[in-house]
Structure 1
Amino acid sequence: MSIDVNHALPQRVTTMLATDPHTPVTIMAIELNASEGEITRCLPETMAQFTSGDRAEHILSQLPSWGRLTTIVAAAGSIFEVKADFPKGKMAHGFYNLMGKAGQLHGHLRIDLITDIAFVSKPFRGMESFYIGFFTAKGECMFKVYLGRDKKRQLFPEQKELFNQLKQELCA
């Protein structure tokens, strides 16, 4: 089952984007009383393209070769960020188990709950930004993986290329 969107929401999102295209999806969700997944589903195709949640394991298996990424998990108003190479993982006991080394992400993901995966290219604080968002059927964001930046805060061009290749492969 995919994220269900209220019929009036797309126009409201379009109006907000016309006012300020840099407004974060999380802020739009609060202001429009919608889930982050619902808002992301309403972004124009130039900003967000989707694939099925059953592609999560494939996507996660690609990320360890991309280099330093930023993984974000938001819970109860707090935001956790890990800036490191994305760890390798494998399925076991109903979880996708991240096997991070010291300083890397480590954990157990219920990827069976992921229904929608978004490849998002949306400006953030005046800078281009790219991430892969993993969403549940209720539109909850389980986590996001952002492309990394160099010391000058520029995106790594090779990651941008890998992001676009994977998006084209899975969202076409």
Structure 2
Amino acid sequence: MTAVDPAPSRRPSLDSAPSRQLAETLAANPDGVLESLAAEHGLSLEAAIRCLPETHRALADGCHFAEAMADIAQWGTVTVLVHTDDLILECTAELPPGRPGHGFFNLHGPGPLGGHIRAERCATLAFVSRPFMGLESHAVIFLNQEGAGMFKVFVGRDAERRPRADQLARFTALRDRLTATAGEAHHGAP
């Protein structure tokens, strides 16, 4: 995959010593909790994602938020994760369809997942494919204007704990469609 720079004026510098150090670490081993690695190096989550080898990440502009959410709502059961300094909260469920209203992108459905998202704060969509805890992992990470994570949506797993093939195909198609608008091609992992 190739990083597509959705907002060059906001792009974190990869020339800093912490960025170079993290890039070297991730080149040797792309596993680990990105938020923890970012904090250890004094970087935002977005800056840490940009330190991943290009084969593990692709970025799209946050203006595609609603399109991405509509597509993901068709994938079936996924894992939605919110990671803050105080909490890692996961919900494995179908992402309900959402719609804008009252200043939010509202998720309503019959399942356990619902909420209200400030979609206008989504600046970047990061498509990350890398090992995590020794398992192949694929996630769409929604990043705000400060480079912090809003939430992540992970491709679901099958009975053998491998990414579901149907969802991986949808993830790849969405990634390629949204990042192609910036005129970049993808290389490496699906």
Match of 2:167 in 1: 159
Asked if 1:96 is matched to 2:116, the reply is: no
Mark the runs of 5 or more structure 2 residues left unpaired by the alignment: 1-6, 181-190
Measure the CA separation in 2 of the matches of 1:23 and 1:107: 28
Letter in 1 for 2:118: R
Question: Secondary structure of the equivalent of 1:46?
Answer: helix
Asked if 1:37 is matched to 2:36, the reply is: no
Match of 2:69 in 1: 60
Match of 2:96 in 1: 87
TM-score, with length taken from structure 2: 0.84
Q: Spell out, residue by residue over 1:15-69, the C-alpha distance to the aligned partner (whole angstroms, 9 max, x if none).
A: 1113422122122112111111111122222111011001000100111110110
Letter in 1 for 2:23: T
Measure the CA separation in 2 of the matches of 1:82 and 1:71: 5
Q: Does the 8 Å CA contact 2:58/2:128 hold for their aligned counterparts? A: yes
Mark the runs of 5 or more structure 1 residues left unpaired by the alignment: none
Measure the CA separation in 2 of the matches of 1:23 and 1:76: 16
Letter in 1 for 2:64: R
Match of 2:22 in 1: 13
Measure the CA separation in 1 of the matches of 2:37 and 2:84: 17
Measure the CA separation in 1 of the matches of 2:126 and 2:142: 7
Measure the CA separation in 2 of the matches of 1:124 and 1:82: 18
Match of 1:144 in 2: 152
- Among all aligned residue pairs of Structure 1 and Structure 2, give the percentage whose two residues are the same amino acid: 33
Task: Give the C-alpha shift of residue 153 in structure 1.
Answer: 1.0
Task: Give the C-alpha shift of residue 78 in structure 1.
Answer: 0.6
Question: Secondary structure of the equivalent of 1:132?
Answer: strand
Deviation above 2 Å: which 4+ runs of structure 1?
1-4, 18-21
Match of 1:4 in 2: 11
Q: Spell out, residue by residue over 1:99-140, the C-alpha distance to the aligned partner (whole angstroms, 9 max, x if none).
A: 03132x110000100111101001101111000000112111
Q: Does the 8 Å CA contact 2:19/2:43 hold for their aligned counterparts? A: no
Asked if 1:130 is matched to 2:138, the reply is: yes
Measure the CA separation in 1 of the matches of 2:50 and 2:44: 10
Question: Secondary structure of the equivalent of 1:65?
Answer: coil
Question: Secondary structure of the equivalent of 2:82?
Answer: strand
